Each structure stands twice: as structure tokens, then as C-alpha cells.
Amino acid sequence: MNAVEPARQKLIARGVLAVFILLCTGWLLRLDYAERISTNVLDLIPPGEPSPEVAVVRNLAGNRQARVMLFALRDSAAPNSPPAAAAQLLAGKLAHAPVFAEAAAIGDATAETELGRKIFARRFALLLPGWLGEAKRAFGRTGRPEKEFSPWLAERAASDLEAFLARPEAMSMQELVRRDPLLLVPKLIAQVGPFGLPGTQADGHALVWARIKPSPFTAEGQQPAFAAVERAFAQVRAQYPSVELCWSGINRFAAASRARIEWEIKTLNLASLLAVLAVGCALVRRMWKMLHLVPVIGCALLGAWTASTLAFHRLHILVFVIGSLLSGVAIDYGFYIYMQPSRQPGEPYADKLRRLLKPLLASCLTTVIGFSLLLFSDLPFIRQVGFFVSAGLLCALAAAMLYFAQLEQPFLEGRTFGRNAAGHGSRWRGPLRALFLAAVIIALVGPWRLHWQDDVRELDIPSPALLANDQALRTLFGDTPDRSVYLTYGDSAAEARRHLEDFLSYEARAAPGASAASLGLVFPTEEDWRKMPARLARLDGFAGDFRAALERHGFDAGAFAGFFDDWSRTQQQPPAGGYSKLYEDLQPVITGPLAQFYDADGPLCWFMTVVKPSGTPAPPAGLFTVGVDQLQSLNRVFTRYRWSALRLSLSGLGLVIASVFIIYRFRAGLRIALIPAGSCFFIFGMFGLLGQTLNLFHLLGAFLGLCLAHNYAIFSSESARAGAPPPAPIRLSALCAAASFGVLSLSRIPVVHGLGLTVALIVLTALAAVELEPRARGGAPN
């Protein structure tokens, strides 16, 4: 190399870096971040996820159920008297706000009365098919001949009617019973009874139910809705100054979550930077020279953001929370190049780089290979993290090599404490060997005691105040802990209704003392609906049989003339039309809160069932029913993804180790493989012995920590061979990584905390191993 070459190299390096920065910045500036970055937890799960829980949750999240907002008003001047007029006013104001689709004060029975009238008027179409079907099945079990069906049914109906009159509600239903002696509507009332809420004016509150138009996960569904609520309530307060308002909705959680995650990104990055600077102050002589590492980290992050947004149309914000700590890894290459002294005065940068290229490439490429395996994960979030980190590492290495080419003296001098400790190894050899032996035992025994538990709720920052407020509101609206809520689904309304029938039969067997109520009971199964005309046709003599049975049971059959007229008309002209028309007819009158309890026209149809008391066993998979508690955690789904990530991580580890044995000789390769793997198993062993519960993100953290530890093992390979302590860059790099990931462990997002803690502990363990291993071996040649 001649004297001109370094200048030319400097120019080329500067030009390449400038073009890279310009292109990346230009690309990132033109992005629509609201469109490209998601804060919705459900976006962490792939669109094609076959799990029924996820399908149901997606349906709920994208459906009107997610857009519901609940309001409770209380008059502080008259706490026992619900401010019903104020609630009416608030509902009216909200209903007129463009962002709200509908709003209604609970207790305004107009909609319910309309629905009740409709059900009563359509009882022969809606309820008679099920009544006939059930009777037919019960008759079938008696083994009697078909011709006895009509008198048997008449006797049974009259007997049921007589028994019903002894029930408490009979007195208030006598007019209804006169028109409906088959008890179609009273039986429906008895079945939907467990849906009961504590009252429209629960605990001195007047309640308002509302639904917004946009998704609660979008910006349009958040601040505009909140502003509309504030405006509406201000108008209410103008008339009713002593009224107080509590309100909740998914959009409040989504907005709080977004704000907190954004805050975490800023503060964690700042704290991470300060932590790295603090480590630098302790280990570096000229602190200001560490500023040369900032462009390297900046280029790594810039490259990672650009590559990820180029490769993925939509990324989850957690990728950036976790990926922002890429700086902890990216800084390694900068340290290693920057802190290596020249072999002789005036050593050209290219020569120095050539000398360091093998460990640099070995470290970077093996880590990239490991993380690239995450690209095969089923979970888009893990694919995105794998891609982000891989791209960032490649950019970090390239940026470090190019950036330091521009410096006249690319050397950062570290402090020298602890350098000569190896010379006193004999005194410490015994205790250190005992320590390593203990660590090996922990690494071998502890992991067997690990407990794994995945919970989708840990992906978000808990908001105790919002949760308490939401729970209080839901209790006022009737959501009590003594009941379990299930969703029964199907590809069509007919299928969902059939599955509901199966689920209710299962519940009756599994928990005979429990009550199960569902709005789905308003509709017949498709089978009963289709068979009704034929069944009616075979009940020619039923009217006569029923009159006789009524007389036998002490009734005046003439008092039921209205019913017999209705029956005759129905027999002559049974309800007709397609099955789906039943739902279409009723849908216009099922509005407001009632509409939350079923969905018969979405891509996935479902019915909600409330079972009281709670605590009945979870329904088996074949019933197409999931508990709402099950939906809140999605444990099963995430457990599957954890196993997938574990397989990929182990494959990645295998590849990394294989690469090391290809690049290095067996003895050095064995050391390089054992330090990261040992550190990782030791920390998992400690977690196991301490009873810590781990999840998918501890596993990801372990893989990240393993790759970092792998760097230190490679970079310290030469010094270890010489029995010397590791070079200063490793100490600095490891402490910086531990500091920055330690900062991550302060996150309030449980999974991010878990990931940060795991990485920090593995890195510190690996550093301790790298530092102490030569001393424990002792007697190494100088």
C-alpha cells in the first residue's frame, strides 16, 4: 500500500457512508409511520394463524364489540339517586358526534320493547321450530309409535303449563300465557335469565352505552373520540354541575399503551446511552473519543430501520423497542476495531483491519446466521426481530469498518486495571475451579426445574388504574366474576347455532347445576327450522288434543282461542324463507348492548354464552367454543410459538457452533462454543432454581445473549490461548451490553423486562467466564 491509498480509502469510505445515510434517511422520511407501525397486540400473531382463539379474537377486535365505550354517571350531590336525565343528555350528545355510531342510555326500554314485540310476533318462526324439535327428540326416546306423538305432545304441553303457573314469574305473564300456552316466550325468558345485569341504575349510577365508528386501535378511534366525550360531558356539566363521569373503552387502553411504549422507546434509549457512557467513563481514558462510536451505532440503527421497513409492510412497535437495544450489540465491532492498538507505529488502517477481519467476520456472520434462522419463525414478530437485528449487525460491521478508516489515529485507549491478575492465578485457581464446577452443576440441573408460561397480556404495559376503572364499569354493566363467558363460533350463522346447541348440551351434562344463557337461543337450529313444516304437517290433530289436555288439567280451553287461531294459521302457512332471513329480520331491532352478544353476518359467526356460576371446566376443542378468559391470554397459541422459536434457536445455535468449529481449531472452537452455551444454561439454571417463570421472550433474550457471549468468546480467543486476560474491548463491550440490556430490564412491559434481564445476565456471566477462565486454568504459558 502506498501513501496515496489511505487518502483514497478515506474518501471512498466517506462517500459510501454518506450515500448510505442519504438513501436511508430519504427512505425513512417518506414513510407513513401510522400506517407502517402497529401497536395492536394482535398484529404480533400471523394473519393465517389457524387457532380458533385467534380467529375469534381477531373477529372481536375488528368488530363492533371492540368499538364499545361504557359510561357511568353519578351525582355527587345525590349519590343514591342515579342522574338519569344527565345520562340521557350525554347519550344524545354522543350520538350526534360524528365519531360515534350510536349511543344510548341504559334503561331506555324503547329498543328492547321493540325487540320483545318482534320476538313475540315471530315466535312461531323463531321459537316453535326448536320447541317441536326438542319434543320430537324427547318423544323418540320414549319408543312410542309415531301416531301417539300429537296426544303425547298435547299432554306434555298442558302439564308444563300447569307447572309453570306455580313459578314466581307466572303471575306477571298470565296475559302472555293466554296467547302462548306452549310457553315459547316464557321458556326463552327462563333461558336468558342468567344474562341479568344488576340494574340500569346500578349503585346510584346512570349508565350510557356507546359505539364508535373507527377502530379503537387507530388514531381516528382515539383522540377524536376522547375529544367528543369531553365536549359532550362539558355540555352535561353545564346543566348538571354535580354530575361525575367514569368511562372506559378499548381505545383508552390502546392510546395509553401507545403513549407508554413511545415513552419507553425514548427513555430506554436515553438511559441506555447514559449507561453506556457511564461504562465508558469507567473503562476508557479519553471519554470524548467514545463519540466516534455514535455514528457506527447510528448507521446500524438506520440500516436496520430501513431494511426492515423495506422488507415488511407493517411492523410491530415492539420490534423497535427490542431492536433499539441493537446498539448494545452493534457497538461490539466498533469497540473491537477502535480499541485494538497498532502492531507497530504507523500501521496502515487496512493492515490493522485485515488482521482483525477473521474474528470480526466470524463474530458478525455467525450471529447473523443465528438470527437469520428466526426468519423461518411462524410468528411475524420474531421474523421481524430476526431481520432487524441481522440487518443492523451487518450495517454495524460495515459502518465500523468504513467509519474508522477516516480517523487519523483510530485507537481508543482503555484503562489498565486488572491486567496483571493472571500472574496471581495460583492462589485463586482452587476457588475458581470450585466456582466453575458449581456453575456447571447449576447449568445442568437448574433448567429442568424451569416453568414456562406465555401470556399475550405480558406483551403490553399493564395499566392498573385503567384496568380498575374498566372493571368497575363492567361490574356496573353486569360483568360479575361469578360467571364464565364463552364464544361459540362457526363459518356461518347456521353452523355457529349448531355448535351452540352442542355446547349447551355439553354444559348441561358437564355442569348440571349451572345455568347457561345465550342470545342464540332466540334462533332455531337450521335443522329444526328446515324440518318444521313437515313436523307441523304431521300434527293435524294437535289442536284438538291440546284442547282436551288443557281441560283435563283444569284449564278453560276457550280462554286460549287466540292461540288456537295463531296455531291454525301457522299450520296452514308455516313460516317460510331462507334460514338466514331469520337473522336478517331480527337484526334491525337487535341494537345497542344486545348487539354485542352475537355476530351472524361477519366472516366468523358466533354467539356469546354466559354460564353461571363460573368455574365450569373448559369446553373441549370439538365444540368450537372458547372461553373469554382463554382469549385474554392466548396461552396455547403463544406456547406453540415458543416451541417453534426454541427449535429455531437451537438450530441457530447448532449452526453458530458448527461455523466456529469450521473457522477455528477444535480446542479453541470448544472453548468458543462452551462459553456462550454455558452462560446461557447457567442463567436458565438460576432461573429454574429461583422459581422464575419464563416465556417466549426469555428464550429470545437467551438467543441474543448467546450471540453476544459468542462474540466475547471469539474476541478473547487469542488472549485465552496465551493465558492472558481478555482484551479491553471485550470488557468494555460486555459491560456496555450488560448496561444497555440492564436498562431494558427496567421496562414496564413484562416481556421486554424478561428479555433485557436475560440478556444482561447472560452477558455478565459470559464476561465473568472469559475473565476467570484463564485464571482457573492457571499455569498458562506467558
Cα-only R_g, the chain: 35
Q: Does 115 bind other proteins (CB under 8 A)?
A: yes
Site for other proteins in 425-484 (CB under 8 A): 478
Segment lying near other proteins (by CB under 8 A), choices 184-192, 305-313, 343-351, 662-670: 184-192
Contacting residue, 55, 63, 162, 531, with other proteins by CB under 8 A: 162
Segment lying near other proteins (by CB under 8 A), choices 43-51, 55-63, 167-175, 628-636: 167-175
Q: Least distance to other proteins from the beta carbon of 746, Å?
A: 44
* Number of residues assigned to the chain: 782
Q: Does 597 bind other proteins (CB under 8 A)?
A: yes
Segment lying near other proteins (by CB under 8 A), choices 158-166, 235-243, 499-507, 626-634: 158-166
Segment lying near other proteins (by CB under 8 A), choices 59-67, 170-178, 362-370, 437-445: 170-178
Contacting residue, 174, 344, 416, 572, with other proteins by CB under 8 A: 174
Question: Would you say 116 or 214 has its CB closer to other proteins?
Answer: 116
CA distance linking residue 613 with residue 496, whole number of Å = 24
* CA-based nearest residue to 612, from 197, 226, 181, 239: 197
Q: Least distance to other proteins from the beta carbon of 453, Å?
A: 34
Contacting residue, 71, 131, 149, 195, with other proteins by CB under 8 A: 195
Q: Least distance to other proteins from the beta carbon of 564, Å?
A: 12
CA distance linking residue 609 with residue 518, whole number of Å = 4
Question: Would you say 469 or 591 has its CB closer to other proteins?
Answer: 591
Q: Does 556 bind other proteins (CB under 8 A)?
A: yes
Segment lying near other proteins (by CB under 8 A), choices 192-200, 234-242, 267-275, 405-413: 192-200
**Beta-carbon contacts of residue 162 (< 8 Å; ≥ 6 apart):** 553, 554, 555
Q: Would you state the cell numbers that stand for residue 676, as one nine-digit string?
A: 456462550
Rounded to 5°, the CA angle 760-766-767 comes to 90
Place of cell 373469554: 628
Q: Does 589 bind other proteins (CB under 8 A)?
A: no
Q: Does 560 bind other proteins (CB under 8 A)?
A: yes
Q: Does 80 bind other proteins (CB under 8 A)?
A: no
Q: Least distance to other proteins from the beta carbon of 627, Å?
A: 18
Q: Does 197 bind other proteins (CB under 8 A)?
A: yes
CA distance linking residue 722 with residue 279, whole number of Å = 27
Site for other proteins in 610-649 (CB under 8 A): 612
CA distance linking residue 261 with residue 747, whole number of Å = 9
Per-residue DSSP letters for 125-148?
Answer: HHTHHHHHHHHHHHHHHHT--GGG
Q: Does 549 bind other proteins (CB under 8 A)?
A: no
Segment lying near other proteins (by CB under 8 A), choices 112-120, 124-132, 492-500, 620-628: 112-120
**Beta-carbon contacts of residue 385 (< 8 Å; ≥ 6 apart):** 319, 322, 323, 374, 700
Q: Least distance to other proteins from the beta carbon of 562, Å?
A: 11
Contacting residue, 192, 496, 549, 761, with other proteins by CB under 8 A: 192
Contacting residue, 5, 134, 169, 347, with other proteins by CB under 8 A: 169
CA distance linking residue 597 with residue 606, whole number of Å = 8
CA distance linking residue 81 with residue 78, whole number of Å = 6
Q: Does 194 bind other proteins (CB under 8 A)?
A: yes
* CA-based nearest residue to 192, from 598, 605, 566: 598
Segment lying near other proteins (by CB under 8 A), choices 71-79, 128-136, 186-194, 674-682: 186-194
Per the omega criterion (within 30 degrees of 0), is the bond before 613 cis? yes
Which residue type sits at 207? L
Which residue type sits at 286? R
**Under a CB-based contact definition with an 8 Å cutoff, are residues 484 and 622 in contact?**
no
Q: Does 703 bind other proteins (CB under 8 A)?
A: no
Site for other proteins in 261-300 (CB under 8 A): none
Q: Does 217 bind other proteins (CB under 8 A)?
A: no
Segment lying near other proteins (by CB under 8 A), choices 71-79, 127-135, 197-205, 328-336: 197-205
CA distance linking residue 359 with residue 758, whole number of Å = 25
Segment lying near other proteins (by CB under 8 A), choices 111-119, 334-342, 631-639, 680-688: 111-119
Q: Does 588 bind other proteins (CB under 8 A)?
A: no
Crossing angle of the two packed helices 750-777 and 425-445, in degrees rounded to 10: 140
Cα–Cα distances in angstroms (integers) from residue 358 to residues 270, 366, 389, in the given order: 33, 12, 21
Q: Does 199 bind other proteins (CB under 8 A)?
A: yes
Q: Least distance to other proteins from the beta carbon of 568, Å?
A: 18
Binding mask 498-537 for other proteins (x = CB under 8 A): --------------xxxx---x------------------
- 314 phi, psi to nearest 5 deg: -135, 130
Q: Least distance to other proteins from the beta carbon of 493, Å?
A: 18
Q: Does 165 bind other proteins (CB under 8 A)?
A: yes
**Under a CB-based contact definition with an 8 Å cutoff, are residues 686 and 769 in contact?**
no
* CA-based nearest residue to 274, from 748, 746, 776, 778: 746
Q: Does 83 bind other proteins (CB under 8 A)?
A: no
Q: Least distance to other proteins from the beta carbon of 79, Å?
A: 15
Q: Does 593 bind other proteins (CB under 8 A)?
A: yes
CA distance linking residue 427 with residue 159, whole number of Å = 96
* CA-based nearest residue to 156, from 574, 542, 571: 542
CA distance linking residue 505 with residue 719, whole number of Å = 72
Instruction: Give strand pairing partners of 692.
Output: none
**Beta-carbon contacts of residue 319 (< 8 Å; ≥ 6 apart):** 308, 381, 384, 385, 388
User: How many residues at the interface with other proteins, by CB under 8 A?
Assistant: 57
Footprint of other proteins (CB under 8 A): 106-107, 109, 112-113, 115-117, 119-120, 162-163, 165-178, 185-186, 188-190, 192-201, 478, 512-515, 519, 554-556, 559-560, 593-594, 596-597, 612
